[in-house]
């Protein structure tokens, strides 16, 4: 059985047959007859050049299929087929995995990470459609390390790295909030290759450097950790096997008016950095509508402390919170959220607010309690609000 694949399709009900995509495609993967404009699955390499040039939005359609729809089939369509049930060896997303997630270790990892949302997570309605599972264990893509920089001070008690990967022209369409699977070299005790470990992209969709489509990761060295030590020791020019992208719900809304409430600790800041940079690149100097509560032990150990301080408050309203500052009482993110109750409550009541929580599992309980207290003080039930927000695609948790 061949691997399921993600197929790029054009919605014939919305397409106006202007053929702009066909003329733009650099590898002639798009063609038409008198009826429809279609994409040849054997040629399309997901370069995405056709997406922004389409005046209708009909071209941003994707189906996971066991066998791709042929050109002849696509020419016959009056409308797009529904996404069928695909039995997967490797599920395309955490959404479609079963509860145990045993079919796919990646889906299982994501399902576990998203548990804190208290139910099935949904992507924001206006989020771009994510590409998922483009590369898997049997078909990993090789990335070259462009740089590996220590983010925490030399003397700090943690070693957090900013690692930039370049895919050498191969497509790796990753959205902010999605994860990459990194395969450490060597084999496990059974003599099998190691399973991928998941890391959130910390760069926006158009690349760490805009237009370059390179991807950055934020990695903390764990003592004895196989993959984190492998990553943290990488040198410029080293090669890494990568799978993914993964994750179809922890995504940012495209609506520029949407407000983001970001709560994170440590390397949980990775997706938040991606969100922030994506916003910065779209809204420019205008109001960003983003609020961040970011906790670390000390400024020394807070990833991106310097660059964060420089972000204009208008773009990103920041609360950097420290739990091990000498001569200061311990302060955790939930403490600051309570102190900023008015701001948080106002955001919670705004149906345009999206909440993202990312970091260690240990932070979950404290943050939940704070949100609980704050909603109670406005006479609402946190549980109900959380469920509504989650159903709306506005509440997202990723903890590990």
Q: How far apart are CA 238 and CA 65, in angstroms?
A: 34
Where does the chain have alpha helices with state H?
A: 20-24, 50-53, 71-76, 105-113, 226-232, 269-283, 305-310, 333-339, 341-349, 361-377, 382-391
Distance of closest approach, residue 254 Cβ to other proteins, in angstroms: 6
199 is an active site residue: yes
15 in catalytic set? no
Of 18, 27, 362, 384, the residue at the interface with other proteins (CB under 8 A) is 18
User: Catalytic one among 93, 97, 179, 200?
Assistant: 200
Residue 358 annotated in active site:
yes
In terms of Cβ atoms closer than 10 Å to its own Cβ (0-12, 13-18, 19+), residue 171 is: middle
- Applying CB under 8 A, among 5, 17, 144, 345 the residue interacting with other proteins is 17
Residue nearer to other proteins on the CB measure, 249 or 375: 249
One character per residue 307-346, x = contact with other proteins (rule: CB under 8 A): xx-xx-----------------------------------
Burial level of 283, CB count in 10 A (0-12/13-18/19+)? middle
Alpha carbon distance 216, 2 (integer Å):
31
Phi, psi for residue 131 in degrees, rounded to 5: -90, 130
Stretch of 101-109, 123-131, 153-161, 369-377 contacting other proteins, by CB under 8 A: 123-131
Q: Does 350 bind other proteins (CB under 8 A)?
A: no
Given 3, 13, 83, 330, the residue binding other proteins (CB under 8 A): 13
Interface with other proteins: number of residues (CB under 8 A): 44
The sign one gets for the Cα dihedral 5, 6, 10, 14 is positive
Q: Choose the stretch contacting other proteins; rule: CB under 8 A; options: 57-65, 142-150, 181-189, 244-252.
A: 57-65
Cα separation, 5 vs 133, in Å, equals 8
Asked if residue 351 binds other proteins (CB under 8 A), the reply is no
Q: Based on CB atoms, which residue is closest to other proteins, 22 or 340?
A: 22
Q: What do you get for the CA distance between the two ends of the chain, in Å?
A: 33
Q: Nearest to residue 387, comparing CAs of 399, 375, 377?
A: 375
Contact with other proteins (CB under 8 A) among 103, 144, 283, 339: 283
Choice from 57, 81, 119, 185 touching other proteins (CB under 8 A): 57
The backbone torsions φ and ψ at residue 67, rounded to the nearest 5 degrees and listed phi first, read -125, 135
DSSP 329: -
224 binds other proteins (CB under 8 A): no
Considering the complex, state which of residue 184 and residue 308 has its C-beta at the smaller distance from other proteins. Answer: 308
Out of 2, 52, 190, 329, name the contact with other proteins by CB under 8 A: 52
**Site membership for other proteins, residue 210 (CB under 8 A):** yes
Q: Which of 139, 144, 198 is nearest to 167 (CA)?
A: 144
Residues forming contacts to other proteins in the complex (CB under 8 A) are 13-14, 16-18, 20, 23-24, 34, 48-50, 52-53, 55-58, 60, 78, 125-126, 128, 206, 209-211, 254-257, 273, 276-277, 280-284, 304, 307-308, 310-311
Please give the positions annotated as active site.
199-200, 358, 398, 400
């Amino acid at each position: 059985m061949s691997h399921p694949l993600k197929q790029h399709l054009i919605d014939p009900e919305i397409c106006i047959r202007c053929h702009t995509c066909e003329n733009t495609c650099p590898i002639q993967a798009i063609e038409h007859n008198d009826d429809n404009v279609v994409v040849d699955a054997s040629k399309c390499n997901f370069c995405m050049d056709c997406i922004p040039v389409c005046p209708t939005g009909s071209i941003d359609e994707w189906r996971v299929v066991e066998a791709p729809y042929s050109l002849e089939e696509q020419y016959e369509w009056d409308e797009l087929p529904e996404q069928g049930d695909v039995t997967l060896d490797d599920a395309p997303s955490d959404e479609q995995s079963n509860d145990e997630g045993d079919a796919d270790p990646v889906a299982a990892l994501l399902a576990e990470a998203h548990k804190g949302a208290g139910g099935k997570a949904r992507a924001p309605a206006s989020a771009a459609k994510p590409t998922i599972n483009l590369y898997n264990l049997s078909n990993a893509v090789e990335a070259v390390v462009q740089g590996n920089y220590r983010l925490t001070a030399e003397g700090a008690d943690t070693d957090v790295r900013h690692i930039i990967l370049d895919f050498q022209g191969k497509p790796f369409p990753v959205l902010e909030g999605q994860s990459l699977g990194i395969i450490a070299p060597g084999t496990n005790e059974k003599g099998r290759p190691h399973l991928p470990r998941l890391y959130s992209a910390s760069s926006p969709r158009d690349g760490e450097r805009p237009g370059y489509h390179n991807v950055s990761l934020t990695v903390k060295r764990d003592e004895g950790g196989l993959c984190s030590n492998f990553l943290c020791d990488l040198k410029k020019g080293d090669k890494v096997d990568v799978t993914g992208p993964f994750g179809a719900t922890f995504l940012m809304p495209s609506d520029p008016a949407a407000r983001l409430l970001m709560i994170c600790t440590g390397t949980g800041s990775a997706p938040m950095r991606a969100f922030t940079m994506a916003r910065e690149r779209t809204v420019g100097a205008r109001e960003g509508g983003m609020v961040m509560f970011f906790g670390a032990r000390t400024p020394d150990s807070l990833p991106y402390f310097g660059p964060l301080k420089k972000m204009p408050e208008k773009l990103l309203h920041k609360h950097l919170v420290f739990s091990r500052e000498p001569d200061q009482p311990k302060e955790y993110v939930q403490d600051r959220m309570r102190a900023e109750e008015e701001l948080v409550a106002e955001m919670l009541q705004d149906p345009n607010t999206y909440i993202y929580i990312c970091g260690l599992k240990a932070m979950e309980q404290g943050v939940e309690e704070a949100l609980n207290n704050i909603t109670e003080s406005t006479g609402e039930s946190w549980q109900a609000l959380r469920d509504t927000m989650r159903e709306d695609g506005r509440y997202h948790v990723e903890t590990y």
